[in-house]
C-alpha cells in the first residue's frame, strides 16, 4: 500500500526538471518534499497524478503501475491532490465543488438522470449529504452556497482540500497549502493535516513554510535542481550540511541582498 | 476615450466600405450602387449605434440608468414571484394548450417552428452552454434526424414512431464521430473542425443522388400517427389518427419541446451536469478531480446530437419533405445565436432566444433579405451591452462580469 518512485526523470525539451528520483511514501505518514524554487517539487506531483508521463523510471502504487494512466484513473485509485495556484471551479458553489470531487465514487449516468430513477435520487441525496459533511469537517460549511471564487483566500485553500478529500483518497498530495495564509490559518492547517493523518490518510506535502514542515512531518526529502540531496527525519534534515548550503544558505544570501 | 472610439469608428467604417461595396455591389459585370449603399449604410448605422452606446456606457447617466432599470426589474420580478411556482407554470401551460384554438394556421406554423428551434437550442446548450464546447456544425445532426426518418419511411415504410429510435441512435453515433477527433482540440481548432463536419454532411446529402435524390430532396413521407381512444357508437374504441392538421402537430411538437426542457433541466442538475460545468470551468482541474473528461465531452456531443436528430425527424415529418438546403451553415448560426443571445446554460433564456430569433423575423417577412444584417446587428449590440444574454444563468453572468463584480465588492468595503 505504498507509493514508490523508481529512478524517475523528467525532461522538458532540454531542461532536466527531475533526475533519477527514488522516493518511497509508506502508508499513514506525513512526508514532506522541500527545495528551493524551481527544484521540481510540483513536477513530482504532476508525474504522480499523470499530468506528465515520466521520460524515464516508473511510478508504482499499490501494485499498479501509474506511468501512462490518465489522471482520472489515478485519482480513482486513491491519490488526490491540490494545486499550488488554486484551481477551484470558481463559478460553482463551494458545495458543488465538493460534489464534483465525489464524481469518481458515484455512478449515476445520463440515462438515470434523465429518468430520475430511485437510484439516482438516492445517490444525489447521498452526494449532497456527504459533501456537506466534508465542508463541516473542514469548518467551511457556512460558505456552502457561496461561489468558490468569492471565498476568502485561506478558505479557498481549505475548499481545495475538501474537494480532494471528496474523492476519498488514501494519499493526499498538498502543494503549498499554507501559501498566503496568516499565522492563525497556518496553525489551523497544521492541526487539520495532523488529524487527517490520524484518520489513516497518507500525506505528501510540498511546503515552503519551515514551521509547518518541521512541525508535522514524519519524514522530509529535499530536492535541489531536480535531484534528491537528502532524506530523513526533520532533525537530521535541519542539521544536514548539504541542505543548509543548498537551501537555507542560499535563501539567506538572497534575503540579505534584498535588504 | 472619446477620441479612441471615434478613431475606431472611422477605421471600421473605412474597412467596411472597402469590403462591402465590391462584395455586395458587383453583380456580374455591373455595379449596383443602390444595393451596395443600402447595405453599407445599415452596417455603418449599427456601428454608429454601438459606438454611441459604448460612449454612453462611460457616462454616469448610463450607470444610474442601469441601476434604476435593475431596481425596476427586480421589483417587477418580485411581483411575478408572488404567484407560487406551480400556479405560474400551470397557467403558462394552459395558455400554450389553448393557443392553437385562438390562432390561425400561419401563426401555428410559426409556433411549431419556434418549438423546433427551442428543442435545437436546448440540445446545443448541452454542448456549448454546459460542457463549454463550441459546435459550429450542429445543424448536421438535425439533417441526420430528418434524413434518417425520410429514408426509413420511403424505402422500408417504417412508421414515424418506430423510425424515431433509429434517428436517435444514428444521431448520437454521428455525435461521437464528430466528437472523437475533436476531443484533444480547443478553441479555434474545434470551431473549424465542427464547421467542416457540418458542411461535409450537407455535401454528402447534396451529392449522393441515388440515396438522397440530391438537391431535389425527398418527398412524401408519412405523417406521424397517434392512437387515440374514441367514443363512437357508445363504446370505447381505439382509432389511428394521422397528425395531418397543424394544431395536432403543434401539440405533439409542444410535447417534444417540453420533454426536452425537462430532460435538459434534469441533466443540468445531475452528477453529469456538474461534471460538464466543471470541465467548462477548468478542464485540467476537472480531470485531476477524477472526472473522465474525454468520455464526458463525447457524451455531451452525443446527447446534444440526439435532441437535434429528434427535432429533425419531426421537421421532416411535418413537411413530408426535406432537402439539403434546409441544413446550411446559416442554420447552425441561428441555433448558436439562440443559445448565446438567450443566455448560455439558461433554459428560459433559450426559449426567449428562439422566440426572438424565429418569431420576430417572421413578423418582418418583407425585410427577409436583411435578416442576416439584423442578426449581425443584434448580436453585436447584445455582445456590447449584455454579453450574458437576455436571461443569463446566474453562473454565466458571474463569469462575464467578474471584474465588475470584483470592483463593486471592492467599492462596498
Ligand atoms: N510544462 C513545463 N514545461 C517546461 N518546463 C517546465 C514545465 N513544468 C515545469 N517546468 C520547469 O521545471 C522546473 C521545475 O519546476 P517545478 O514547478 O516543479 O518547481 P517547484 O519546485 O514546484 O518550484 P516552486 O517552489 O516555485 O513551486 C522549473 O525550471 C520549471 O520551469
Ligand atoms: Mg511548485
Whole-complex ipTM: 0.91
> Which CATH number is B150's domain given?
1.10.3470
B272 touches chain A (CB under 8 A): yes
CA gap B200, B181 in Å, rounded:
15
Tell me the pLDDT tens digit for each residue of B371-382.
667 777 777 776
* Residues A173 and A74 occupy one common structural domain: yes
Q: What is the mean pLDDT of residues B333-351?
A: 84
* Residues B168 and B71 occupy one common structural domain: no
Residue A224 in domain: yes
- The whole-number pLDDT of residue B19 equals 79
* Residues B393 and B295 occupy one common structural domain: yes
Specify which of B33-37, B143-147, B179-183, B340-344 reaches the highest per-range mean pLDDT. B143-147
- Residue B384 C-alpha cell reads as 456590447
Which domain covers residue B235, as residue numbers? 88-404
Q: Which of A110, A142, A167 is the last residue of a domain?
A: A167
> Which CATH number is A248's domain given?
3.40.50.300
Q: Give the total number of structural domains in chain A.
A: 2
Of the pLDDT bands very low, low, confident and very high (cuts 50, 70, 90), residue B234 is: low
Below-50 pLDDT ranges, chain A? 251-259
CA gap B389, B337 in Å, rounded:
10
* Residues B145 and B13 occupy one common structural domain: no
Residues of A in contact with B282 (CB under 8 A): 87, 89
**Measured torsion, CA atoms of residues A107, A112, A116, A122, in degrees rounded to the nearest 10:** -20
H-helix or E-strand containing A30? Answer: strand A30-34
CA gap A34, A38 in Å, rounded:
11
CA gap A89, A86 in Å, rounded:
10
Residue A131 in domain: yes
Q: Which of A167, A182, A216 is the last residue of a domain?
A: A167
Contact call for A99 and B274, based on CB within 8 A: yes
Q: Which of B53, B81, B109 is the last residue of a domain?
A: B81
- Residue B224 C-alpha cell reads as 406521424
* Residues B30 and B52 occupy one common structural domain: yes
Contact call for A124 and B282, based on CB within 8 A: no
Which domain covers residue A104, as residue numbers? 90-167
By Cβ distance, the residue of B272, B286, B399 closest to A109 is B272
Check whether B152 has a pLDDT greater than 70. Answer: yes
Check whether B67 has a pLDDT greater than 80. Answer: no
* Residues B288 and B229 occupy one common structural domain: yes
* Residues B38 and B187 occupy one common structural domain: no
Q: Which residues of A touch B (CB under 8 A)?
A: 49, 51, 70-72, 75-76, 80-81, 83, 87-92, 96, 99-101, 103-104, 106, 108-110, 113-114, 116, 120, 123-124, 127, 147, 149, 163-164, 167
Q: Give the total number of structural domains in chain B.
A: 2
* Residues B113 and B177 occupy one common structural domain: yes
State the nearest Cα–Cα gap between B63 and chain A, in angstroms: 24
Q: Which of A167, A190, A211 is the last residue of a domain?
A: A167
- Spell out the residues 6+ positions from residue B38 whose beta carbon is closer than 8 angstroms to its own: none
Q: Report which DSSP code applies to A244.
A: I
H-helix or E-strand containing B143? Answer: helix B139-156
Q: How far is the CA of A43 from the centre of ligand 1 (A)?
A: 6
Of the pLDDT bands very low, low, confident and very high (cuts 50, 70, 90), residue B97 is: confident
Residue B412 in domain: no
CA gap A86, B405 in Å, rounded:
20
- The whole-number pLDDT of residue B345 equals 76
CA gap A69, B225 in Å, rounded:
51
Q: Is the CB of A43 under 6 A from ligand 1?
A: yes
- The whole-number pLDDT of residue A1 equals 64
Residue B409 in domain: no
- Spell out the residues 6+ positions from residue B73 whose beta carbon is closer than 8 angstroms to its own: none
In chain A, which residue's Cα lies nearest the Cα of B269? A113
Residue A85 in domain: no
- The whole-number pLDDT of residue B411 equals 44
Whether B337 and B358 have beta carbons less than 8 Å apart is answered as no
- Tell me what the pLDDT averaged over chain B comes to: 81
Mutation test residue for ligand 1: of A40, A46, A225, the one with most atoms within 8 Å of CB: A40
- The whole-number pLDDT of residue A53 equals 94
* Residues B258 and B186 occupy one common structural domain: yes
Residue A160 in domain: yes
Tell me the pLDDT tens digit for each residue of B295-340.
999 999 999 999 999 999 999 998 888 899 888 888 888 898 888 8
Q: pTM for this one?
A: 0.83
Tell me the pLDDT tens digit for each residue of B3-22.
888 888 888 888 888 877 77
Contact call for B286 and A104, based on CB within 8 A: no
State the nearest Cα–Cα gap between A163 and chain B, in angstroms: 8
Amino acid at each position: 500500500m505504498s507509493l514508490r518512485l523508481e529512478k524517475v526523470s523528467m525532461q522538458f525539451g532540454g531542461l532536466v526538471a527531475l533526475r533519477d528520483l527514488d522516493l518511497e511514501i509508506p502508508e499513514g505518514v506525513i512526508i514532506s518534499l522541500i527545495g528551493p524554487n524551481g527544484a521540481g517539487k510540483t513536477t513530482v506531483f504532476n508525474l504522480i497524478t499523470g499530468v506528465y508521463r515520466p521520460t524515464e523510471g516508473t511510478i508504482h502504487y499499490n501494485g499498479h503501475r501509474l506511468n501512462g494512466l490518465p489522471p482520472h484513473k489515478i485519482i480513482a485509485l486513491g491519490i488526490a491532490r491540490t494545486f499550488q495556484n488554486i484551481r477551484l471551479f470558481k463559478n460553482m458553489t463551494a458545495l458543488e465543488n465538493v460534489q464534483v470531487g465525489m464524481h469518481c465514487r458515484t455512478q449515476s449516468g445520463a440515462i438515470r438522470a434523465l429518468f430520475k430513477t430511485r437510484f439516482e435520487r438516492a445517490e444525489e441525496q447521498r452526494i449532497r449529504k456527504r459533501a456537506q459533511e466534508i465542508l463541516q469537517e473542514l469548518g467551511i460549511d457556512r460558505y456552502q452556497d457561496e461561489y468558490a471564487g468569492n471565498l476568502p483566500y485561506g478558505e479557498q485553500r481549505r475548499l481545495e482540500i475538501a474537494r480532494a478529500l471528496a474523492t476519498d483518497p488514501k494519499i493526499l498530495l498538498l502543494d503549498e497549502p499554507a501559501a498566503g495564509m496568516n499565522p492563525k490559518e497556518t496553525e489551523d492547517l497544521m492541526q487539520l493535516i495532523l488529524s487527517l493523518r490520524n484518520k489513516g490518510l497518507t500525506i505528501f506535502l510540498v511546503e515552503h513554510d519551515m514551521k509547518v514542515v518541521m512541525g508535522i512531518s514524519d519524514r522530509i526529502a529535499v530536492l535541489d535542481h531536480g535531484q534528491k540531496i537528502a532524506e530523513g527525519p526533520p532533525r537530521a534534515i535541519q542539521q544536514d550540511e548539504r541542505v543548509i548550503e543548498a537551501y537555507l544558505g542560499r535563501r539567506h544570501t538572497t534575503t540579505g541582498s534584498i535588504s | 476615450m472619446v477620441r479612441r472610439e471615434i478613431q475606431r469608428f472611422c477605421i471600421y467604417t473605412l474597412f467596411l466600405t472597402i469590403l462591402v461595396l465590391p462584395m455586395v455591389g458587383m453583380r456580374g459585370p455591373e455595379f449596383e450602387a443602390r444595393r451596395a449603399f443600402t447595405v453599407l449604410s445599415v452596417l455603418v448605422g449599427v456601428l454608429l449605434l454601438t459606438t454611441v452606446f459604448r460612449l454612453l456606457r462611460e457616462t454616469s447617466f448610463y450607470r444610474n440608468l442601469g441601476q434604476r432599470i435593475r431596481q425596476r426589474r427586480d421589483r417587477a420580478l418580485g411581483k411575478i414571484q408572488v404567484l407560487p411556482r406551480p400556479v405560474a407554470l400551470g397557467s403558462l401551460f394552459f395558455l400554450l394548450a389553448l393557443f392553437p384554438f385562438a390562432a390561425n394556421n400561419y401563426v401555428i406554423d410559426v409556433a411549431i417552428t419556434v418549438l423546433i428551434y427551442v428543442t435545437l437550442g436546448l440540445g446545443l446548450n448541452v454542448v456549448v452552454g454546459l460542457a463549454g464546447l463550441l459546435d459550429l456544425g450542429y445543424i448536421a445532426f438535425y439533417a441526420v434526424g430528418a434524413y434518417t426518418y425520410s429514408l426509413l419511411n420511403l424505402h422500408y415504410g417504417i412508421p414515424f414512431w418506430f423510425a424515431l429510435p433509429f434517428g436517435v441512435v444514428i444521431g448520437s453515433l454521428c455525435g461521437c464521430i464528430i466528437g472523437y477527433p475533436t476531443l484533444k482540440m480547443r478553441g479555434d481548432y474545434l470551431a473549424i473542425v465542427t464547421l467542416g463536419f457540418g458542411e461535409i454532411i450537407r455535401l454528402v446529402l447534396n451529392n449522393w443522388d441515388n440515396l438522397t435524390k440530391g438537391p431535389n430532396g425527398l418527398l412524401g413521407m408519412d405523417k406521424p400517427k397517434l392512437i387515440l381512444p374514441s367514443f363512437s357508437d357508445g363504446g370505447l374504441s381505439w382509432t389511428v389518427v394521422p397528425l395531418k392538421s397543424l394544431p395536432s402537430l403543434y401539440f405533439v411538437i409542444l410535447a417534444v419541446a417540453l420533454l426536452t426542457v425537462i430532460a435538459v433541466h434534469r441533466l443540468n442538475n445531475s452528477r453529469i451536469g456538474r461534471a460538464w460545468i466543471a470541465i467548462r470551468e477548468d478542464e485540467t482541474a476537472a480531470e485531476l478531480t477524477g472526472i473522465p473528461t474525454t468520455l464526458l465531452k463525447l457524451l455531451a456531443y452525443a446527447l446534444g446530437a440526439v435532441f437535434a436528430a429528434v427535432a429533425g425527424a419531426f421537421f421532416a415529418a411535418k413537411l413530408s419533405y426535406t432537402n439539403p438546403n434546409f441544413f446550411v451553415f446559416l442554420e447552425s448560426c441561428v441555433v448558436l445565436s439562440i443559445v448565446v443571445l438567450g443566455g448560455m446554460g439558461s433554459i428560459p433564456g433559450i426559449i426567449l432566444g428562439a422566440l426572438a430569433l424565429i418569431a420576430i423575423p417572421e413578423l418582418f417577412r418583407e425585410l427577409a433579405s436583411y435578416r442576416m444584417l439584423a442578426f449581425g446587428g443584434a448580436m453585436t449590440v447584445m455582445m456590447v451591452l449584455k454579453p450574458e444574454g437576455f436571461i443569463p444563468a446566474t453562473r454565466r453572468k458571474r463569469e462575464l462580469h467578474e471584474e465588475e463584480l470584483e470592483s463593486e465588492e471592492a467599492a462596498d468595503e
